[in-house]
Structure 1
Amino acid sequence: MIRVRALTQIPEYAEAVRLQKIIWGFDEIELLPVRLFVTATKAGGQAFGAFDAKRMIGFCLSIPGIKPGAKSYLHSHMLGVLDEYRNAGVGRLLKLEQRKDALSRGIELIEWTFDPLEVKNAYFNMERLGAVVRRFVLNQYGTTSSHLHGGLPTDRCIAEWWLSAPRVAAIIAGRPPERPPVKARISVPSDIYAIKENDPRRAREIQMRVSDQFLDHFSKGLAVVGFERTPEAGHYLLGTWEFK
């Protein structure tokens, strides 16, 4: 049985650092160090681990933030799960623990970034958690050493998870949420990892097209309100979103 609990000890943080290397393949200089876990948790952030018996198989780390008007929120900077435990619901368990803890402290919003080319991740964020997206950043982290990023710029969607929104409550309870009319779609291929490996130039062309579409639609006030997928592609559904 998989259990999720708060990480509070330095050896646990060190294990989360070790998992970063395994999951992403980062160079040492790009790993989040133990001292960041210590500082984040003492400053109002979150660090949770997922365990199979005594073995840590995944973790997440959030840091506190403040919006204009002194509204506090959490930025979920990193969440990773070992390959052999993916598609087993571990990521969702970690996110739900983040939500539970945030709401207990009166925090209504958790944000994070994600690669819009990753279809499984997009589906998880939109359809399994109920996040929405209204902002997009070009090359957020620069080019990284991770094999998962394939040498591409780190263009990223910013997910907003409004923890008390009816949309989120419905999805977590297993009910279909109300969805505004779809006004636009952005499509991405489902096999982006193979494309990155076999045709990097095409991968970059796809990335530039997708990034341009997001920036254009967001400039017109649209938001990602859903996601559909087929064996060949994933489709971001955009519409006008209000807090509902």
Structure 2
Amino acid sequence: MTTIRMLHSFEEVSAVGALLADIWDAPPEQPPIDLSMVLALAHSGGYVVGAYQDGDLVGASVGFVGGQDRDELHSHITGVRKDRMSTGIGFTIKQHQRNWALERGLTTITWTFDPLIARNAYFNLTRLGGRIAEYLINFYGPMDDGLNLGQPSDRAFVRWDLAAERTPPAAPVGPARVILDRAPDGSPVWHGELIADDPVELIIPADIETMRQQDPALALRWRLALRHAITALLDEGWAVTGFRRGGGFLVAPWARMKTITQEDRDERRP
């Protein structure tokens, strides 16, 4: 069983720093977030939590209230211990974030993620039902942790609408034509025109993290290819509607997107 609790002390926050440094392959003395800032956020009512199993810290998340109308929780960083990934801890943290936000009258949770990491894209867009609001080019600038070293820090900015009683899954868009695909040698390859009238799919590598270690030049080609595709589509008013496990991003014109009504949501309830 996973227990989520708010953190406050220097010792608790230091443990979070050590955990995040290990997840991001960073030196223990250089965690991917400043611990003095985390302590300040915790003391001033920000969102600083640890996920525990049998007393062991297995996940953590840090966020703060933001947005133009101060009605959003921005989840700045969330991580799960390497040996506990894909065990439901991340989902438990997100549900805790959701409840924490709703209790405070917040309507949206936002965060960024690396759009080339397939498991995160599926989790954020398809399982949670978040939507990509922006594609941010080299958002954090050069990063020196083991996961990002030598690569542009492009990020997808996600908005998760909490207004619905239960956030629906990603809207289906029907059959999608693949316009960005993986060639047999693993390189990105284009099929047809970038902009079309029908829903399209942008396929990405199954494991970009291993590719970055083994062939950073190829990983960079994928970064630039996906950047070009998504920014062009978003600029034309298209929307990323989900992510297909084992495949890629599903993208459709707004006019072709299905509007999910309250009746649709009622039908999905068990």
TM (normalized to structure 2)?
Answer: 0.80
| Correspondence 1:34 to 2:35 | yes
**SS of match in other structure, 1:143:** coil
Greater shift, 5-14 or 79-88, is seen at 5-14
Contact preservation (8 Å) 2:21, 2:31: no
Greater shift, 193-202 or 49-58, is seen at 193-202
**SS of match in other structure, 2:71:** strand
Measured in 2, the distance between the counterparts of 1:99 and 1:186 equals 29
The answer for the alignment partner of 2:10 in structure 1 is: 10
The answer for the alignment partner of 1:207 in structure 2 is: 223
The answer for the alignment partner of 1:174 in structure 2 is: none
- Deviation, 1:54, is 1.4
The answer for the alignment partner of 1:164 in structure 2 is: 163
**SS of match in other structure, 1:170:** coil
The answer for the alignment partner of 2:67 in structure 1 is: 66
Percent identity for Structure 1 against Structure 2:
30
Measured in 2, the distance between the counterparts of 1:26 and 1:165 equals 38
The answer for the alignment partner of 1:98 in structure 2 is: 97
**SS of match in other structure, 1:153:** coil
Measured in 2, the distance between the counterparts of 1:162 and 1:242 equals 17
**SS of match in other structure, 2:120:** helix
How large is the Cα RMSD of the aligned pairs? 2.1
- Deviation, 1:178, is 4.3
Measured in 2, the distance between the counterparts of 1:161 and 1:47 equals 19
Question: Does the C-alpha gap of structure 1 residues 95 and 126 become closer, same or farther in structure 2, counting only changes over 3 Å?
Answer: same
| Correspondence 1:141 to 2:134 | no
What are the ranges of 5 or more consecutive residues in structure 1 without an aligned counterpart?
172-176
Contact preservation (8 Å) 1:45, 1:74: no
Cα deviation digits, residues 75-134 of structure 1 (max 9, x gap) = 111001111111110011011100000001110111111111100010010112110102
Q: Which has the larger radius of gyration?
A: 2
| Correspondence 1:179 to 2:172 | yes
Cα deviation digits, residues 30-77 of structure 1 (max 9, x gap) = 53233212222344421111101211111000022132xx24211111
Contact preservation (8 Å) 1:21, 1:31: yes
The answer for the alignment partner of 2:213 in structure 1 is: 197
The answer for the alignment partner of 2:245 in structure 1 is: 229
Contact preservation (8 Å) 2:21, 2:30: no
Contact preservation (8 Å) 1:133, 1:224: yes
Contact preservation (8 Å) 1:143, 1:152: yes
Measured in 2, the distance between the counterparts of 1:159 and 1:116 equals 10
More helix by share: 1
| Correspondence 1:124 to 2:137 | no
Contact preservation (8 Å) 1:226, 1:236: yes
- Deviation, 1:137, is 0.7
